[in-house]
Structure 1
Amino acid sequence: MTQHPAPLPEADAVEAPPWDPAKRPGPAIRSYGTQRPRMRIRIDGVWRDAQVIQRQDWPDGRIRMLCDVYLPSEVGWVWLVRGYWWDSAAMRPA
Structure 2
Amino acid sequence: MSTIEEPTPARPWRPADGAPPTVWTWPSNDRPALEVWSAGAWRYASVAARQDWPDGTVRYQVLVDLRGDTTSTHRTYAWPQPGLRKRHGSHSEPSQGVDEGRQGEMPRRAPTGR
Deviation string 1:13-58 (CA, Å, 9 cap, x unpaired) is 1100122245321111111231211221113543211000111011
The answer to whether 1:37 aligns with 2:48 is no
Does the CA-based 8 Å contact 1:56-1:64 persist in structure 2? yes
The CA deviation at 1:60 is: 1.1
One-letter amino acid of the structure 2 residue matched with residue 80 of structure 1: T
Does the CA-based 8 Å contact 1:33-1:53 persist in structure 2? no
Q: For 1:77, what is the secondary structure of its paired residue? A: coil
Quote the Cα distance in structure 2 between the aligned partners of 1:21 and 1:68: 25
Partner residue of 1:12? 6
User: Which consecutive residues of structure 1, in runs of 5 or more, have no partner in the other structure?
Assistant: 1-8
User: Number of residues paired by the alignment?
Assistant: 84
TM-score (structure 2 length as normaliser): 0.62
One-letter amino acid of the structure 2 residue matched with residue 79 of structure 1: S
- What's the % identity of the aligned pairs? 32
Partner residue of 2:97? none
Cα separation, partners in 2 of 1:62 and 1:44, compared to 1, 3 Å: farther
Partner residue of 1:28? 22
User: Which consecutive residues of structure 2, in runs of 5 or more, have no partner in the other structure?
Assistant: 88-114
Which range moves more in the overlay, 33-42 or 78-87? Answer: 33-42
Quote the Cα distance in structure 1 between the aligned partners of 2:4 and 2:64: 18
TM-score (structure 1 length as normaliser): 0.73
Higher strand share: 1
Measured on the aligned residues, the alpha-carbon RMSD in Å equals 2.3
Quote the Cα distance in structure 1 between the aligned partners of 2:6 and 2:40: 6
